[in-house]
Amino acid sequence: MDHLQTFKNKEKFATMKILILNGPNLNLLGTREPDIYGSETFESFFGQLCSAYPQISLEYFQSNHEGELIDKLHEVGFSFDGVVLNAGAYTHTSIALADAVSAIKAPVVEVHISNVHKREPFRHHSYLSAACVGSIVGLGLDGYRLAVEWLLRR
């Protein structure tokens, strides 16, 4: 029975596809403002994440353009098993991104590296939170890993 369960888990993980989607300016991670965002590049972190989860298919996409983020959500939203979304500053401005998250079938977990609630008031509101299954804020890059872990176990 144990063996069967392990086999079933492997089967499930083998087919799992998760997208990590980063918005504007997050391509600068590791190069500027290390006090807020840390000193690791996302590429380096993503390499470690892929090594930690060899049994699933992880894809990473970053764009500074709102429409490209929406297009990517449409592209994967009916075939992937989940999306981890850090929409950067579009979090606080974009009804269009919130509509895209609501429109797709894949569950979307919102992640913010910094604790937005400890920062300027304009960062306290997210248009995305209500459309997402949940949010992780202020835990640094580990928030992405925790979001992936949750998507795997749901």
Binding interface with ligand CA2 (CB under 6 A): 25-26, 28-29, 32-33, 37, 86, 88-89, 91, 112-114, 116, 123
Q: Closest CB to ligand CA2 among 27 and 57? A: 27
Identified catalytic residue from 60, 112, 127, 144? 112
Q: Is 125 part of the annotated catalytic residue set? A: no
Q: Is 90 part of the annotated catalytic residue set? A: no
22: CB partners within 8 A, 6+ apart: 42, 60, 61, 62, 63, 86, 88
Interatomic CA distance for residues 84 and 107, integer angstroms: 9
Identified catalytic residue from 37, 60, 90, 127? 37
Q: Closest CB to ligand CA2 among 82 and 88? A: 88
Contact call for residues 121 and 91 (beta carbons, < 8 A): no
**Residues involved in catalysis:** 37, 112
